Amino acid sequence: MSETTPAPDTRPSPGAEDPPPRKRVNRREQILRTAADVFASQGFHNTSLADIAAMLDITPAGVLHHFGSKTDLLTAVLELRDDTDPAPEGSRMLDHLVATAERNAARPGTTQLYAVLSAESATDEHPAQDWFRDRYVVLRREIGEAVLDRLAPEHREAAGTPGPDGRTPAEAAAAAIIAVMDGLQVQWLLDSGSVDMAAVTELVIDSVVARLSREG
């Protein structure tokens, strides 16, 4: 009677490691971050869905599968920036602005994206125009409230009282702070060694608060 050859043992040897699990590709996030880079370097109007798709080795239809249109993709890119920088309430908002300016110096791509698209949105029928207009309305209100909160109680009434144009000194101060921060981004992008965005932002905030305190 012949002997039966035993089947080979295919079990892993003791101590053998399992192969690392394959990372799942989040295609939507890839498209979003690639679009942010291209919009920052080329602007919205000069960028096509084909440009973005080619960088990811997919078709324009693949982009539209995740974002219904180029405009929807633009909106998602803009909202991505805000989602990473939630703002606190009260006077801490002013400290947050200084910290944001400091962080912007460490992420030139995001800073360029915002500078390019905010300026481009002022052109006729730009799809991001409403987004930026609404953003500035909210920022002026929130920063104005933060300025009032930073003032001593005896100075708040005067700073919060509307003038002949219907706007309060605190709202004017907020507009000045925003204008400085946006202008600083352009100067920094053109010559990063020429300005310290965080230091200048802090200086302007301290200056407008001091001015309102004197007037109050």
The Cα–Cα gap between 122 and 118 comes to: 7
Binned at pLDDT 50, 70 and 90, residue 85 comes out as low
Extract the tokens encoding 100.
């944001």
Model pLDDT, residue 79 = 87
Instruction: State yes or no: pLDDT of 121 exceeds 50.
Output: yes
- For 30-71, how does the pLDDT look when each residue is reduced to its tens digit (9 = 90+)? 999 999 999 999 999 999 999 999 999 999 999 999 999 999
Is the Cβ–Cβ distance between 189 and 109 less than 8 Å?
no
Q: Averaged over 187-208, what is the pLDDT?
A: 96
Percent of the chain with pLDDT over 70: 86
Is the Cβ–Cβ distance between 139 and 87 less than 8 Å?
no
The residue with greater pLDDT, 11 or 92, is 92
**pTM for the whole thing?**
0.80
The Cα–Cα gap between 91 and 101 comes to: 16
Is the Cβ–Cβ distance between 52 and 26 less than 8 Å?
no
Is the Cβ–Cβ distance between 151 and 159 less than 8 Å?
yes
- For 147-182, how does the pLDDT look when each residue is reduced to its tens digit (9 = 90+)? 999 999 999 999 999 999 999 999 999 999 999 999
Model pLDDT, residue 23 = 47
